[in-house]
Structure 1
Amino acid sequence: MTACVHKSTIRSVTPRTFGCEECLEQGMEWFHLRLCRECGHVGCCDQSVGKHATAHFHRTGHPIIEGYDPPEGWGWCFVDETFVDLPDQTPQNGPIPRYY
């Protein structure tokens, strides 16, 4: 397994929305949520039509996400394509709506 060299980008963040930001704006449905651990963007997983978490990575270069539906406790680095041990889990700010 490849080691992640981007752990320094991990921040304690506040999720910006209660669901996928772009799906909420566009009236789309999502399957699972992913939280950017650099800025707090909430995006949908690659099983979702929008694939907004991956799109956020390509747009911003923010490498590490947290499984966030519900908080799942794992991290993923898009650049190194490996799981990352997170220093903490991000608490939910309230109930996350489900669309699957």
Structure 2
Amino acid sequence: MCRTCGKVGCCDSSPMRHARAHVLASGHPIVRSLEPGEDWSWCYVDEAYL
């Protein structure tokens, strides 16, 4: 899920990589996992977990 606007997209391990496409189109660089039990965010600019 985009931490800027809340858009939900599949991650890079999914075939369509909707989260990365959203980052490239919107400029919103940070996403977070919505998977149960996961509490992480990823910054596409720094290519690092937050």
TM-score normalised by length of structure 1 = 0.47
Whose Rg is larger? 1
1:66 — aligned with what?
32
- Count of residues in correspondence between the two structures: 50
Deviation at residue 47 of structure 1 after TM alignment: 1.4
2:12 aligned with 1:75:
no
2:11 aligned with 1:45:
yes
2:16 aligned with 1:55:
no
**Structure 1 unaligned spans of 5+:** 1-34, 85-100
Distance 1:71 1:55, change over 3 A: farther
Which structure has more strand as a fraction of its residues?
1
Counterparts of 1:50 and 1:36 in 2: how far apart (Å)? 16
TM-score normalised by length of structure 2 = 0.90
Question: Following superposition, which runs of at least 4 residues in structure 1 exceed 3 angstroms of deviation?
Answer: none
Counterparts of 2:28 and 2:7 in 1: how far apart (Å)? 10
Please report the RMSD computed on the Cα atoms of aligned residues, expressed in angstroms.
Answer: 1.1
Deviation at residue 70 of structure 1 after TM alignment: 2.3
Report if aligned partners of 1:63, 1:78 keep a CA contact under 8 Å in 2. Answer: yes
